[in-house]
């Protein structure tokens, strides 16, 4: 299939897809932060958690070993994590949208021009910036009671205590950095400028189509 993408543009489309999938997958997986509670490993993301304590018989605490999201947005442990959820989710959605358009550009002619590629690169920069902002906001929630119970009651903002950052946090931040720096730069060389002959042909085709529709409408 013919495409307006250059060889660099094809690589950009592939890298955009990988980056968007990696960032979005990391956003949904509850492996941003690891700690322990009642002898069990506990992990968090921004809006999900694995393993949590409940009251058992005799009012003793027992750990339920399962993963799930918080029951409501307001149940997320801190305002910082609520903001992180919204900002990071918006960035992932933007990266996925651009990646989908870039992949379609590999199969469809005249979908991505040089200017369109640059505009999509700008959108990727914004998406990466949003995810990076979410990663920066995440440590502000480490002083919430729920996190402190998991981190030895010594965690605070930007202080992990006995906890440690998980691979999903690094994957989300790495995806954001690739989108902002590499994908944005590659997008400047992704599309070809339309050739004058192709441009004239496109204009003539659109003009003829408009003339035929107008003639059809004017016929009694």
Mapping DSSP onto H, E and C, the string for 93-105 reads HHHHHHHHHHHHH
Contact 74, 63 (CB under 8 A): no
Instruction: Give me the pLDDT at residue 220, please.
Output: 53
Phi, psi at residue 47, to the nearest 5°?
-130, 10
Per-residue pLDDT reduced to its tens digit, 111-143: 888 899 999 999 999 999 999 999 999 999 999
The pLDDT confidence band at residue 179, using thresholds 50, 70 and 90, is: very high
Give the mean pLDDT of the chain. Answer: 87
- Which residues, including other chains, have CB under 8 Å from residue 68's CB and lie 6 or more apart? 48, 49
Portion of the chain with pLDDT greater than 70, in percent: 86
Pairing state of beta strands 33-37 and 164-165? Answer: antiparallel
pLDDT at 200 over 60: no
Range list of β-strands (E), the chain = 33-37, 40-44, 48-55, 61-69, 164-165
Contact 135, 172 (CB under 8 A): yes
Q: What is the mean pLDDT of residues 4-16?
A: 91
The count of residues in the chain is 220
Instruction: Give me the pLDDT at residue 49, please.
Output: 94
Handedness of CA 208, 214, 218, 220 (dihedral sign): positive
pTM score of the predicted model: 0.83
SS3 of 155, please? coil
Instruction: Give me the pLDDT at residue 213, please.
Output: 53
What Rg, from alpha-carbon coordinates, does the chain have? 24
* Poorest-pLDDT segment among 122-136, 181-195, 200-214: 200-214
């Amino acid at each position: 299939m013919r495409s307006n993408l250059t060889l660099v543009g094809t690589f950009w489309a592939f890298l955009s897809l990988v980056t968007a999938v990696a960032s979005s997958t990391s956003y949904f997986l509850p492996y941003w932060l690891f700690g322990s509670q009642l002898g069990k490993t506990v992990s968090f993301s921004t809006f999900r958690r694995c393993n949590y304590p409940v009251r058992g018989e005799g009012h003793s605490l027992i750990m339920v070993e399962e993963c799930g999201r918080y029951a409501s947005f307001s149940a997320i442990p801190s305002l910082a994590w609520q903001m992180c959820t919204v900002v990071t989710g918006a960035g992932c959605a933007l990266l996925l949208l651009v990646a989908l358009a870039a992949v379609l550009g590999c199969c469809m002619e005249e979908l991505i021009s040089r200017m369109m590629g640059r505009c999509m690169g700008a959108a990727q920069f914004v998406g990466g910036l949003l995810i990076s902002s979410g990663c920066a906001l995440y440590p502000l929630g480490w002083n919430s009671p729920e996190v402190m119970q998991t981190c030895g009651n010594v965690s605070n903002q930007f202080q992990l205590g006995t906890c440690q950052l998980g691979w999903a946090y690094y994957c989300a931040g790495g995806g954001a950095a690739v989108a902002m720096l590499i994908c944005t730069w590659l997008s400047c060389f992704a599309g070809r400028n339309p050739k004058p002959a192709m441009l004239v042909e496109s204009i003539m085709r659109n003009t003829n189509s408009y003339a035929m529709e107008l003639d059809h409408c004017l016929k009694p």
